[in-house]
Amino acid sequence: MPRNPWFESVAEARRRARKRLPAPVYGALVAGSEGGRTIDANAAAFAELGFAPRVVGHHARRDLTTTVLGVPTALPVLISPTGVQAVHPDGEVAVARAAASRGVIMGLSSFASRPVEEVADARPDLFFQLYWSGTREAMARRMDRVRAAGAKALIVTLDWSFSHGRDWGSPAVPDRLDLRTMLRFAPEALSRPGWLWRYARSGRLPDLTVPNMGVPGGTAPSFFGAYGEWMQTTPPTWQDVEWLVEEWGGPLLLKGVTRVDDAKRAVDAGVSALSVSNHGGNNLDTTPATVRILPSIAEAVGDRIEVLLDGGVRRGGDVAKALALGARAVLIGRASLWGLAANGQAGVENVLDILRGGLDSAVLGLGHSSVHELGPEDLVIPPGFPLTLGGADLPATPVAGPAGTGSPVA
């Protein structure tokens, strides 16, 4: 560990994560699909936008607070739900503690390595992410469980296309860590003794199971076992989205929206919010950068539901740009995981502090007293930058067959 564990940028957190993690673990964080064009596009698009700062009229105090689905947050930044955070022994609990320390909302994945009850104890302002996996009865049980744990909202991810293959190679990730597997991966683990020592000191092995996909108190399924169930589940219809809204009975955010017609249908289905997201480039490669798609969706439905954004956020200035283009808040995934790998809970707090500082500087320089005052006039937007996908007028209710049951197929 460096003499000074503090880092001044998300880029430095990433460099430290790469130095400290075994190659397969770091590769799993980078993830992506196919050529990785969407990963690069997400971050590069923010750099295409410029600021239009003011020279006089700055405010001595700036309000960076907001609410998301009625839950207050000290910063318009949420921790995005990401699966199996085995980069650190404390995993999602360390992230939850960091979120609590900085007063932000945490999203917890169905594929998390720690039970929702344990994470909710560390951060009660928790949103739980649900995948359309298994039967309706199984999904209803998961909703009952996270509701009982105190989750404030449901994040639903439905559009995953199970893209496989990366031009740079996919990391080797075992199904379970038994003795034989540990011996096979020993050379890579031993190449990062600090990472190995942290686990040895904690008395735990990296956990590749997903307890929130199983029955409470039962044996947690393996990551790939749960992933296989998800892949084999009949994809949902818009009627299934309506069922989820009714079954949950509380605030629900639909994650993964990139098209205006889908955004309008989501409103008709009764969702409370949506996230303009391409899953950080982990899904269908060559999907455009989310910040380019954001303005059209915010214009289409932003007066009826809350619109969030994720994908490529690395700086507080990126947060300001997203808010100026219509987002209520952003979600961060890789940035928080790099912080976790770099320095555990303190590393995630470090990342949040970096984003806070950058956002505060942007609000100050643009002459505002609140993040809610940010608007397109604060930006230099290149010609042709905004994109509209699915902008044609379509019927409010699409033609569809009977509502799916979500039953696994053979």
Site of tokens 């649900």: 130
Active-site pick, 88, 164, 279, 372: 279
**Residue 350 to residue 343: CA distance in whole angstroms:** 9
Q: Across 65-112, where does the E strand assignment appear?
A: 66-68, 71-73, 77-79, 106-108
| Dist. CA 351–CA 347, nearest whole Å | 6
Strand partners, 153: 127
Structure tokens at 191: 């190449």
Buried-exposed string 279-291: b where 16+ CB fall within 10 A, e elsewhere: bbbbbbbebbbbb
Provide the pairing of β-strand 306-310 with 273-276: parallel
Query: What is the rounded distance in angstroms from the CA atom of residue 61 to the CA atom of residue 59?
Result: 5
Burial tier of 151 (Cβ tally within 10 Å: 0-12, 13-18, 19+): buried
Does residue 279 carry a catalytic annotation?
A: yes
Two tokens, residue 323:
């808010």
Active site residues: 279
